[in-house]
């Protein structure tokens, strides 16, 4: 009997992530579901027979802890769906002193993906990394010298759009390099 495939979904406690978790639930799949709210993620995990983990992507330390927890549950990750995020006012900054759209929508998923790279590689050529983006990327403009909006005037829609554009760029980049 082949081993179960492992799918990790961030932002799985609500919205698109919860819908995806319920659609992908299958006895042959180990779902690892991540959400910020313990109560909400527990409900989705119960509905899908998945493993519910909590992490707030406004803290990169919590993302690092999450990667360790995922590694404890899975030798290989077949699919990583980076879906956690939202639209945030540029202030206040995160605990790590980043603009919130940049950190929560992009940087946290970037970090998690890189921390799970060995687990993704263990799944072989069929491993997938999916990063949720949106049409909001059309409002984005990446300035590599000012990723945290310290020099430019930060508008919520521009910061959000830039984080979604970064998701697309990251996805294309790892597809080429990995």
Q: Which residues are catalytic?
A: 160
Looking at residue 3, the DSSP 8-state letter turns out to be P
Is there a contact between 21 and 46 (Cβ–Cβ < 8 Å)? no
Strands of 51-54's sheet in order across = 51-54, 29-35, 5-10, 79-82, 128-131
- Provide CB contacts within 8 A for 92, sequence distance 6+: 100
């Amino acid at each position: 009997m082949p081993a179960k495939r492992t799918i990790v979904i961030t932002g799985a406690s609500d919205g698109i992530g919860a819908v995806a978790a319920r659609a992908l639930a299958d006895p042959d799949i180990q779902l690892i579901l991540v959400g910020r709210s313990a109560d909400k993620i527990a409900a989705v995990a119960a509905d899908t027979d998945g493993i519910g983990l909590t992490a707030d992507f406004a803290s990169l330390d919590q993302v690092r802890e999450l990667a360790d927890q995922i590694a404890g549950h899975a030798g290989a990750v077949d699919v990583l769906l980076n879906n956690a995020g939202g639209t945030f006012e540029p202030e206040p900054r995160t605990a790590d002193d980043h603009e919130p759209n940049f950190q929560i929508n992009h940087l946290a998923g970037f970090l998690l993906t890189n921390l799970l790279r060995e687990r993704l590689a263990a799944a072989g050529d069929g491993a997938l990394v999916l990063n949720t983006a949106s049409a909001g990327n059309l409002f984005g403009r990446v300035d590599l010298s000012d990723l945290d909006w310290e020099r430019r005037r930060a508008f919520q829609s521009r910061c959000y759009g830039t984080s979604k554009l970064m998701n697309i760029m990251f996805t294309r980049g790892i597809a080429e390099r990995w």
